[in-house]
Amino acid sequence: MVMFLMALSLSVFGLAMSALAFGAATRTQRTPEPALQPQIDLAPERFFGESRPAFHRQPNVPLEVLLLQIERHVRLEQAAAESFIHLPSSEALNLRTQSPLAH
């Protein structure tokens, strides 16, 4: 009797393990991980486009001040680009300037 119960419990245990394994396997097949799609939401404004969002946060900036900021930004960006051309490297290319329009 004891042997019968042991055999029965082992069978039930084995069946349970098989069911769990089968469930796990089929669940993986049924719900595959969605492929990662890089989401690139380009900012609507560009270097030669409309003003940047930073400008919108400062609605009272006079036009003259803004134009000076843009001019300074261009000079700093050109200097950064020249630095990259002089000694090309990823670090030089991505070097940040102190331009307020670049932050």
Task: Rank residues 29 and 94 by Cβ distance to another protein and give the closer one.
Answer: 94
- Evaluate whether 89 touches 83 at the Cβ level (below 8 Å): no
State how far the Cα of 71 lies from the Cα of 65, in Å rounded to an integer. Answer: 10
Task: Rank residues 14 and 100 by Cβ distance to another protein and give the closer one.
Answer: 100
Burial class (CB in 10 A: 0-12, 13-18, 19+), 55: middle
Task: Rank residues 21 and 81 by Cβ distance to another protein and give the closer one.
Answer: 81
Phi (first) and psi of residue 88, to 5 degrees: -65, 130
> Least Å distance between CB 37 and another protein?
14
Length of the chain: 103
Residues that bind another protein (CB under 8 A): 40-43, 45-53, 63, 66-67, 70-71, 74-75, 77-78, 80-82, 84-85, 93-94, 96-98, 102-103
- Evaluate whether 75 touches 98 at the Cβ level (below 8 Å): no
> Least Å distance between CB 11 and another protein?
56
> Least Å distance between CB 66 and another protein?
6
